[in-house]
Structure 1
Amino acid sequence: MDMLRIVAVPMHKEGRKFVAAFALGTLVLTLVWAPLFWVGLGLTVWCYYFFRDPVRVVPQAPSLVLSPADGIVSLIEEVAPPEDMGLGTSPRTRVSIFMNVFNCHINRAPISGTVREVIYHHGKFLNASLDKASIHNERNSVTIEAEDGTRIGVVQIAGLVARRIVCFVKPGDACAAGERFGLIRFGSRLDVLLPEGVAPRVSVGQTAVAGETILADLSHPSGLLSGRPS
């Protein structure tokens, strides 16, 4: 049974219509020229794989800030948070996680708490790995407030290929650390804005796993602070 779960990872319901479309396309390609069946089959399997929704083992310590996405830590830097997120004006450490088209794209809450802000911004579709993508790209900003009043921001950012940000939560909703709160279709990036004075415990280039990798520990605010990649 454990091996079956590893091989046959569940798919999120958001992906069903896309897999169905790819499967229909495979049928059409096969009718046009039989060998194209294998091309369509490969694309259909990839689409299923893109929308996979694996079970994650979530650390339970309430002071931990978890990665909201699978991918590579691409940027770590001090920035002033967007005014509309309700995070104040003092600089915070921003940890950016870049997801390619092969990463799992289910986004998970970095902490437990109450959703205070959900703000969608129209924008461009620049390469999500670029620093300016945080300002210019289409994005969705979510602010979560922990029970002790600590606020953390997480921003879903569309990229060159991504064309649809999906968010499952709204202001007033309660969420648990590691709980699914959204997804972005076909390549993108997630930014996490840590509380003022809290340094991350990850470094640029590190692989992050949504709901499992610890980005920071609020009970031990000093951590490994890395700069931008050279």
Structure 2
Amino acid sequence: MSVSMLSTFIKPMHPEGRKFVAIAAAITLVLFLICEPLGWIGAGLTVWVYYFFRDPARTTPVRRLADGTVSDTLVVSPADGIISLLEQAVPPAELNLGDAPMTRISVFMNVFNCHVNRAPIGGKITEIAYREGKFLNAALDKASVDNERNGMTIEMADGRRLGVVQIAGLVARRILCEVKTGQMINTGERFGLIRFGSRLDVYLPAGVEPLVALGQTMVAGETVLADLSGTEPARSGGIR
């Protein structure tokens, strides 16, 4: 299957964005009636709103074993953006992951990133918990504790559990989670969206080393964060 030039630039839009595009288009029409230069500014804003809510298809990698079977052990990024934090941290209590520090990988999304969120690993959703909070800059470490958030715990077939948390940012005002407790989810499957600049945290199971570095660019559903069955040590990176 080949990728057309048109599909490279025109992406499907998440249903959440339709009303915002409609509002922006209506405002643009009014601006054109008032003053044509203002109308063109509105047209640019409308295109940006569509672009913000884009929902492109993604190709999620899998590990194929020597016998030809597929092993669902690759943890993928839940969001587009950059790795802003990579550290040991106690997961939020509502995830029921215990009080021991786990490796936390934070992916920061700016207003130009695709904001559709995808499951970092496949399994059963055992916990979903929403917490009200502040709207601090999502790049800050304390945003994991102080900001509005929605957490989800995924239990894999081998019993290990992984946490993923949607965190509202400075201008984010709505976290959307489209899955339910008890539901099965596949790696890379869409599960939610955050409007306008935010962050996602992934808490890896004990003993799993991250395969990404601070500042690295992530692609939701595609970039591998870690391998649950891997023995490779944690990576570091350098800016080139």
Structure 1 spans left out of the alignment, 5+ residues: none
Deviation at 1:35, TM superposition (A): 1.3
Alignment of structure 1 residues 1-230 onto 2, 5 Å: 2-61=4-63, 62-224=72-234
Partner Cα distance (2:204, 2:19) in 1: 36
Quote the sequence identity (%): 64
Q: Report if aligned partners of 1:216, 1:223 keep a CA contact under 8 Å in 2.
A: no
- TM-score normalised to structure 2 length: 0.92
Partner Cα distance (2:24, 2:234) in 1: 43
Structure 2 spans left out of the alignment, 5+ residues: 64-71
Q: Secondary structure at the match of 1:16?
A: helix
Partner Cα distance (2:43, 2:213) in 1: 38
Q: Report if aligned partners of 1:115, 1:142 keep a CA contact under 8 Å in 2.
A: yes
- Computed over aligned residues only, the root mean square deviation of the Cα atoms, in angstroms, reads 1.3
Amino acid at match of 1:177: T
Deviation at 1:225, TM superposition (A): 5.2
Partner Cα distance (2:157, 2:16) in 1: 31
- TM-score normalised to structure 1 length: 0.96
Partner Cα distance (2:98, 2:135) in 1: 27
Partner Cα distance (1:225, 1:80) in 2: 21
Larger RCO (CA within 8 A; separation ≥ 6): 1
Runs of at least 4 residues of structure 1 off by over 4 A? Answer: none
Q: Report if aligned partners of 1:76, 1:225 keep a CA contact under 8 Å in 2.
A: no
Give the direction of change, closer, same or farther, for the CA distance of 1:107–1:42 in structure 2 (3 Å limit). Answer: same
- Corresponding pairs, count: 227
